[in-house]
Amino acid sequence: MSRALSLCGLILAAGESSRMGAEKSLLPWPPVAPGQIPEGSFLSAAIRSLRPHTDLVLVVVGQNETNLAPIIYAHGADLVRNPDPSRGQFSSLQLGLHEILNRGRDAAMLTLVDRPPVSSDTIKLLRERFETAAQRWKWAVVPEYQGKHGHPIVLGRELLEAFLRAPATSNAREVEHTNQEHIEYVPIDDPLIAININTPEEYAALRQMMRSPQAADF
């Protein structure tokens, strides 16, 4: 009998949001027009989306810890602090993965806080596909939409350890490409997996997309 998957959610949220000009973790989700009261934020929505499908959720923060900690704890997640986020996103990833191993988990569902939270059906599908892919010696599943890779991705222990062995000057894409034969790419009809928000213009475009009639389909 195979051992049940021990999966930890991991959200990287330590960036400075310099191009946005405001903390991306706190952007309203779903997007609202100026003056409207938001239901939540990118961060709270990301935690809520991962919690039903994982054993626990970790959020890596940086200098924004004071602003994000109340949201993290209020939604049942735990915090990991990157003391020097200027080293780049890969440093946050390695810190988060170390903490996952320290907590006795052997797989991660990873996303970035500037990615809109995807549907519960998408997350459930990715978890199921990872469980079957692991039986074929795959180390991870990565969603793709119209040929674009996205998030969340599910990492097994083998790829998790590959990230941790990589030099601090590496990036996640390099490690992924080096181990591409061990990764299964999963086409998903969910455009949100391939969107990331870095600027006010991109957030405005996302708000417009979410107001379109097609938004009800994802």
What does the pLDDT look like over 151-182, one tens digit per residue?
999 999 999 999 999 999 999 999 999 999 99
- How far is the C-alpha of 197 from the C-alpha of 13, rounded, in Å? 13
Residue range 182-200: mean pLDDT, rounded: 94
Q: What does pLDDT average to over the chain?
A: 92
Tens of pLDDT along 68-86?
999 999 999 999 999 999 9
Tens of pLDDT along 82-131?
999 999 999 999 999 999 999 999 999 999 999 999 999 999 999 999 99
Q: Write the Ramachandran bin of 147: left for phi over 0, alpha for psi from -120 to 50, otherwise beta.
A: left
Nearest to 209 by CA among 162, 198, 197: 197
* Strand partners of residue 10: 58, 110
- How far is the C-alpha of 215 from the C-alpha of 156, rounded, in Å? 32
Sign of CA dihedral 152, 153, 157, 160: negative
